[in-house]
Structure 1
Amino acid sequence: MEARIEKLSEQKLIGQYISMNFIENKTFQLWRGFMPRRKEIKNTINSNLYSLEVFPVGHFDPFDPNNTFQKWAAVAVSYFNEVPSEMHTLVIPEGNYAVFTHKGSSNDAQKTYQAIFTKWLPNSAYIVDERPHFAVMTDKYKKDDPNAEEDIWIPIKNKI
């Protein structure tokens, strides 16, 4: 598994979120509500979709799949002047990310995440940073297509 390390500049997003945990996954419900309304968002900077997880500080220490977090469906925007009703803003702070390209159906993404956290990360010079985790879905993304691609962005900082 290969990663590229990128310094992300601050990103502004508009979208919707839902509180959930890893046991009661509500991702489908979130995207089912967001997709018909995404065109209401003005000033988008591209057509990419962002699937984000905003974890509370210490969420993984120790890991408990019942711990809740915010799951977001969003798009990147140039400014927050116009926010549609029932949508919210989120700023991803600047920082370093390990970026992995997942190839295959979204149903198989869990295998990629498992490899990141159980193989790549423990053997790297990094630890997870307390910033949003996200996946970027470009025009190469097709939900159930075995040839689909999406980039998984994991916030990192140097091990001390």
Structure 2
Amino acid sequence: MTLLRNCCCFCDLRVGSLAIGVISLLCIGVVEVVVAIYCLLNIEETRKRLKFENSVLFGIDPESDAAAYIFFAILLLVATIYIIVCLLLIHGVRTKDRFLLLPWIFFTFLNMVMAFAGGILTLINSHGYALNIIVGCIVLCISITWIYFTCVVFSFFQALQDGDYW
């Protein structure tokens, strides 16, 4: 039995999963790659806007560019993996291969749980500043939306297991 029967707006789970794959590919994967490359190419300006004060814990001088390079290189790596996972999702939905959906489900669910926790931590540590409260609320809303999208794709995975799309 599937978790959800229909996607939002009463569309089919297959269509919804395909749309979610394309949206996540464009909105998360491509945007993260562009931001990471831009920040790596403009590292001086990026260091002025972002503070890497906790880099001392890892033995990195906070005045050097090493922390920024490491952070954006990791961001680029995660974004590249996410693009590959999104392409697997799109191909899995098109070919009805349910095991190609699993990497996207796991990767996205873990990312959204971490983002949800980050939103809650932002709200807890806001100290009454309006910008932190707004950012925390936006992150929580986005996280809840992507957790729902994960439930939609997981429902399509279950529907393929039950034989609803053969």
Do these two structures clear the TM 0.5 threshold for a shared fold by scoring above it?
Answer: no
With the shorter chain as reference, the TM-score category is under 0.3
In terms of fraction of residues, the more helix-rich structure is 2
In terms of fraction of residues, the more strand-rich structure is 1
After TM superposition, the score normalised by the length of structure 2 is 0.24
